[in-house]
Structure formats: C-alpha cells, structure tokens
Amino acid sequence: MISMFMGEYHHNIDEKGRLTIPSKIRYELGEEFIVTRGLDNCLFVYPKEAWNNIIAEYKKLPNTKDARNFMRFFLSGATICTFDKQGRINIPVPLTAYADLIKECIIIGVDDRLEVWSKKRWEEFVSENEPNYSEIAEKLFTPKLDV
C-alpha cells in the first residue's frame, strides 16, 4: 500500500549534501527510496512501491522524442537512498545543484511523494501561486455542467 505524504517541514542541508528527513515520515519511505529531479526545480522523493508504479507507467509511453528526453532527464538524476543513523539522506551534487539546495530546505508531502525545495524557490512558488489558489481549486474540482 502506498503512503500518503502531507505537511511542510523545514530542515537544513549541510555542506556534504546531508538532509534530515522528519522522523514521522521516515517509516513511510521505507529503508530504500528514490530521489530524482522533480518538476519546477525541486526534488521528488518516492518510496520504492510508488517509484515502481511510475516506471511501469513510463514504459507504456510511446517511443517519441519527448518521451525519450523526459526519461533521460528523469532517470539520469535518480538515485537510491537510505537513511544514516541520524535520519539523514545524502543527496548527490547534481541533484542539490538542480534544486539549488544550499542551506535552508522545505520538505513537503504531496500524496505519493515528498518534494524537497530550496527555501527561496518554495517561497517564490507560494508567492506566485497563493493568490490563484481558490481559482485553481475551482477549475480542478468544480464539475462542469453539461448544458
């Protein structure tokens, strides 16, 4: 059964690329999990079961240039991670550079995955999207009437 992640957590990444994952969600991730490039310049963190489901869906994509390019970018950044004794993960340099993770990080739960954002980029995202939050929700969740 795939877990549902939610919440917002503030942690620092150290100079060696180690980031503490909140204890309340470590169990849900399992002993091994995948970290990769996400969308909007954040990182996606998937439990293995969710990752396997994603890969199964990607294998169904047509062999088009867009699909190949997306898969190259998405999978080339993927790495299997485990926790150290302090509950930290070690994020490789190409991923920390992609997400601009320098010190302050925001970890958010987004259903079947976690997202890791730099504090600056997360604040920019919230600032840009918060004014449209109600409008977005209305577009996504209000049923369209057939007239």
Q: What CATH number corresponds to the domain at position 63?
A: 3.40.1550.20
Half-sphere exposure of 10 (CA within 13 A, CB side): 5
Domain span holding position 83: 8-141
- Give the pTM: 0.90
Q: Give the pLDDT of residue 75.
A: 93
In the block, tokens 């994509």 appear at 61
Rounded Cα distance between 42 and 77, Å, is 12
* Beta bridge partner(s), residue 88: 20
Q: Give the pLDDT of residue 133.
A: 85
Mean pLDDT computed over 103-118: 96
Mean pLDDT computed over 39-57: 95
Q: Give the pLDDT of residue 2.
A: 64
To 10 degrees, the CA torsion angle through 95, 98, 99, 104? 80
- Which residue, among 40, 47, 51, has the nearest Cα to 117 in the 3D structure? 40
Per the structure, the count of domains in the chain is 1
Q: Is the dihedral of CA 62, 63, 66, 69 positive or negative?
A: positive
Q: Give the pLDDT of residue 144.
A: 60
- Secondary structure string (H, E, C) spanning 65-131: HHHHHHHHHHHHCCEEECCCCCCEEECCHHHHHHCCCCCEEEEEEEECEEEEEEHHHHHHHHHHHHH
Over pLDDT 70: what percentage of the chain? 95
Q: Is residue 57 part of a domain?
A: yes
Q: Is residue 146 part of a domain?
A: no
Q: What is the DSSP letter of 132?
A: G
Confidence of residue 135 (pLDDT cuts 50, 70, 90): confident
Model confidence pLDDT, tens digit, residues 69-92:
999 999 999 999 999 999 999 999
Q: Is residue 32 part of a domain?
A: yes
Confidence of residue 147 (pLDDT cuts 50, 70, 90): very low
The pair phi, psi for residue 69, each rounded to 5°, is -65, -40
Q: Is residue 2 part of a domain?
A: no
Q: Is residue 116 part of a domain?
A: yes
Q: Is residue 100 part of a domain?
A: yes
Q: Is residue 3 part of a domain?
A: no
Q: Is residue 1 part of a domain?
A: no
